Amino acid sequence: MNDLKKSITYAEQIYTPFGITKENIFHNKEKVLHIGSGKAALPGTKTIDIIDFPEVDVVHDLDIFPWPFADNSYDLIFAHSVFEHLENQLKTMEEISRILKPGGRLVITVPYFRCVDAFTDSTHTHFFTTQSLNYYIRGSELSNFEYTNVKFKKIGFWYGWPHPSKNILVRLLKKIMNRYPYFYDQYLSIIFPVKILIWELEL
């Protein structure tokens, strides 16, 4: 693991204040897999996608298991705007836990269920609230549902971009959202929907 990661999450390195990084932040110190990469491969990663784009290293349907990688292969798996396309979330999380190294990280970004983009794409099969991944997070109430033995530690969670807004009202709103996530999902999000949710989890 690189020195930068000790003081800042992977998500904060990948999602910079100016957009998704175009630099290789890993410098070959970590083995990173970008799943569902499409044409926008994260620099410094091995890529897998169902479509044979020039940027894709491994062409494979992520709904077919197992994925063509050995156990304990990767330090980090990056999943930007792909989970909403996958049919079997349980098997996907189990497969990710198989190929991650112990202590490895998973960064997941999905469209929020209130966002119109979540419904625009006809290939989207799942919709996400702030609680959707709690089934896989140790210590959360939903983790008591034994759908799977795979459990992660939550390192970070963000409504939208993982950097403080310059707008003081947005910063205040996000504090309320983080303190009362269910209230936000159920009521407040109708008025103030975010576009994306980001999690960083550790195996």
% of residues, the chain, pLDDT over 90: 90
Residue 109: which of 163, 51, 61, 161 has the closest Cα?
A: 161
In a domain, residue 61? The reply is yes
Reported pTM: 0.92
In a domain, residue 176? The reply is no
Q: Specify the number of domains making up the chain.
A: 1
In a domain, residue 185? The reply is no
pLDDT at 7: 57
We report the CATH number of the domain holding residue 50 as 3.40.50.150
The dihedral over CA atoms of 143, 123, 15, 5, expressed in degrees to the nearest 10, equals: 40
Structural domain including 135 reads 4-164+194-202
Q: CB neighbours of 26 closer than 8 A, spacing ≥ 6? A: 2, 32, 44, 45, 76
In a domain, residue 178? The reply is no
75-113 pLDDT, tens digit each: 999 999 999 999 999 999 999 999 999 999 999 999 999
52-66 pLDDT, tens digit each: 999 999 999 999 999
pLDDT at 155: 97
% of residues, the chain, pLDDT over 70: 97
pLDDT at 47: 98
In a domain, residue 180? The reply is no
In a domain, residue 173? The reply is no
Phi, psi of 112 (to 5 degrees): -70, 145
Report whether pLDDT(143) > 50.
yes
22-51 pLDDT, tens digit each: 999 998 889 999 999 999 999 999 999 999
In a domain, residue 145? The reply is yes
Strand order in the sheet with 46-49: 58-59, 46-49, 32-35, 74-80, 100-111, 196-202, 153-159
pLDDT at 146: 83
In a domain, residue 172? The reply is no
